[in-house]
């Protein structure tokens, strides 16, 4: 008996299900975001009860409204994922981008063209390897797209690309090759403006915001950047508004900048480095010698030291490759004297101080051979070089603490020098005077290997030597 009753129940349910399968869903009927337990109709109204918090129209992640009616077009099919960007095609349809994979049950891939009749354009194909479309902008027959993808239709395109608006074919000439996500785009007749989390784009170091050539995608010079992510770009007339997580906008110069007295905008053609710049010295011909903690400058490999010409190019004939930082540079005649944390220059052993030819960087014979870092160099009358740093030995074995004077030709320690009681970080000259600053609190004269004449001074002020005496 129990078996028969069970079969009867199943039959009744089957009849009910078959009966309901012929019904048509009313598209403009409201839906809820939770369970409905009861529905009561009274006249033209429905009263609904259940475990929900929202009642409204189920449009999916995209909805089409008019400017005169806030009721969405319920015949517009739904996407199954997130829609992040949409732009009109100019003929009643839309280009839609996001993270979806289905439109009205039809497989699509993050970017699709919905025609004016609300169907998918079969002639437009854009396939991404993965990721999302965050921004779309249409100019003429070209769509500019940004997102988290790295290929488009099998073609390598890192986070930004251009495709034909009719077919979806990748535009081969446009390839900015960003190093991270592009969240926002705007374009006009000549430029594409991009915002995102990138720090290089268009072949240049451009953090978070860049102006790109519309044809080839190269980054343009002389434009501002931001100090953190740009998420939105909007245009009105000749004004461009950007928004995001940044707190400052300005000109990105990366560790080095060239400024003029009359202009507060840096020269954006000046080559930048990938690390700290510690020392800069004019070459006397409109160019500069630069030292620091960098390994590239102007996109060219240079280890810790380089010569920038008056034309703002990196001098290929000057080679002074160090294996550590260059912290100080001075010039006497056709020689450069450098100090830092290095122990070799062009493969030649030079402990923390060296001299190179100013024209080509060839290592010279000058060699003070100290036992620790040189932070600063100075010269008076071009006959002696003053060394400041954290060293305690000069010429390999001679005791000199933190401050020393050596011969400008040989690097040999002079007979008498002033020592400091702790690290000297800066030396400066004026006339016949040398001024020292650092962590020291007193100086003493070194004569014949001993120390005498302690002098207390918070700035370690000293004067040049004459016949072994210090003038104060």
Residues 368-413 have pLDDT tens digits of: 999 999 999 999 878 899 999 999 999 999 999 999 999 999 999 9
pLDDT score for 13: 30
pLDDT score for 2: 42
pLDDT score for 50: 87
pLDDT score for 336: 98
pLDDT digits (tens, 9 = 90+) for 335-362: 999 999 999 999 999 999 999 999 999 9
pLDDT digits (tens, 9 = 90+) for 177-222: 999 999 999 999 999 999 999 999 999 889 999 999 999 999 998 7
Q: Do domains 83-250 and 277-470 have the same CATH topology?
A: yes
Share of the chain above pLDDT 90, in %: 59
Q: What is the DSSP string of 151-218?
A: EETTEE--SEEEEETTT--B-TT-----SS-EEEEEE-SSEEEEEES-SEETTEE--SEEEEETTT-P
Q: Is residue 343 within 8 Å of 324, Cβ to Cβ? A: yes
pLDDT score for 468: 30
Does residue 419 register a pLDDT over 80? yes
Does residue 469 register a pLDDT over 60? no
Q: What is the DSSP string of 385-400?
A: EEEEES-SEETTTEE-
CA quadruple 332, 406, 338, 358: dihedral, nearest 10: 30
Share of the chain above pLDDT 70, in %: 85
CA atoms within 13 A on the CB side of 373: 15
> Is 24 or 8 the better-scoring residue by pLDDT?
24
pLDDT digits (tens, 9 = 90+) for 264-320: 788 878 899 999 999 999 999 999 999 999 999 998 999 999 999 999 999 999 999
Length of the chain: 472
pLDDT score for 190: 93
Does residue 470 register a pLDDT over 50? no
Where do the domains of the chain lie? 83-250, 277-470
- Given this structure, which CATH class describes domain 277-470? mainly beta
Buried b (16+ CB within 10 A) or exposed e, 17-29: eeeeeeeeeeeee
Euclidean distance between CA atoms 193 and 95, whole angstroms: 19
> Is 446 or 205 the better-scoring residue by pLDDT?
205
Q: What is the DSSP string of 313-353?
A: -B-TT----BSS-EEEEEEETTEEEEEES-SEETTEE-SSE
Provide the pLDDT confidence category of residue 443 given band limits of 50, 70 and 90.
confident
SS3 362: coil
CB burial of residue 267 (10 Å; 0-12, 13-18, 19+)? middle
Does residue 7 register a pLDDT over 90? no
Q: Is residue 124 within 8 Å of 169, Cβ to Cβ? A: no
Q: Which CATH architecture has domain 83-250?
A: 7 Propeller (2.130)
Q: Is residue 214 within 8 Å of 191, Cβ to Cβ? A: yes
CA atoms within 13 A on the CB side of 270: 20
pLDDT score for 26: 63
pLDDT digits (tens, 9 = 90+) for 76-118: 777 888 889 999 999 999 999 998 888 878 888 889 999 999 8
Euclidean distance between CA atoms 431 and 361, whole angstroms: 29
Does residue 21 register a pLDDT over 70? no
């Amino acid at each position: 008996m129990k078996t028969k009753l069970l079969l009867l129940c199943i039959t009744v349910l089957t009849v009910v299900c078959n009966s309901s399968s012929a019904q048509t869903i009313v598209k403009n009927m409201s839906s809820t975001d939770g369970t409905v337990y009861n529905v009561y109709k009274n006249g033209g109204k429905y009263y609904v009860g259940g475990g929900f918090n929202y009642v409204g129209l189920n449009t999916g992640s995209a909805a089409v409204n008019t400017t005169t009616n806030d009721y969405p077009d319920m015949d517009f099919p739904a996407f199954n994922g997130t829609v992040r960007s949409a732009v009109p095609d100019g003929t009643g349809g839309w280009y839609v981008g996001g993270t979806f994979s289905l439109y009205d049950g039809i497989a699509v891939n993050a970017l699709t063209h919905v025609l004016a009749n609300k169907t998918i354009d079969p002639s437009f194909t854009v396939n991404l390897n993965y990721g999302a479309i965050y921004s779309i902008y249409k100019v003429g027959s070209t769509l500019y797209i940004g997102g988290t993808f790295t290929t488009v239709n099998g073609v390598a395109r890192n986070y930004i690309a251009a495709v034909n608006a009719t077919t979806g074919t990748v535009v081969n000439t446009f390839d900015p090759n960003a190093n991270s996500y592009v969240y926002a785009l705007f374009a006009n007749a000549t430029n594409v403006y991009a915002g995102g989390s990138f720090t290089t784009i268009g072949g240049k170091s451009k953090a978070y915001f860049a102006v790109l050539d519309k044809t080839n995608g190269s980054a343009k010079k002389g434009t501002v950047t931001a100090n953190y992510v740009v998420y939105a770009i909007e245009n009105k007339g000749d004004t461009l508004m950007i928004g995001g997580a940044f707190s400052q906008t300005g000109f990105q110069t990366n560790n080095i900048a060239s400024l003029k007295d009359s202009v507060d905008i840096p020269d954006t053609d000046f080559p930048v480095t990938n690390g700290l710049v510690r020392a800069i010295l004019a070459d006397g011909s409109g160019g500069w010698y630069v030292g620091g903690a960098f390994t590239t400058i102007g996109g060219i490999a240079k280890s810790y030291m380089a010569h920038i010409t008056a034309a703002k190019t990196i001098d290929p004939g000057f080679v002074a490759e160090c294996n550590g930082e260059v912290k100080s540079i001075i010039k006497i005649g056709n020689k450069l004297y450098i100090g830092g944390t290095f122990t070799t220059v062009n493969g030649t052993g030079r402990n923390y101080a060296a001299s190179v030819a100013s024209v080509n960087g060839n290592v010279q014979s000058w060699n003070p051979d100290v036992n620790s870092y040189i932070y600063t160099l100075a010269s008076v009358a071009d006959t002696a070089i003053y060394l400041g740093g954290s060293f305690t030995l000069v010429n390999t074995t001679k005791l000199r603490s933190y401050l020393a004077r050596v011969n400008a030709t040989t690097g040999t320690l002079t007979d008498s020098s002033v020592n400091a009681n702790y690290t000297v970080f800066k030396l400066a000259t004026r006339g016949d005077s040398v001024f020292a600053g650092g962590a020291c609190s007193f100086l003493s004269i070194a004569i014949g290997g001993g120390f005498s004449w302690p002098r207390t001074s918070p700035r370690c002020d000293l004067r040049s030597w004459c016949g072994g005496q210090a003038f104060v």
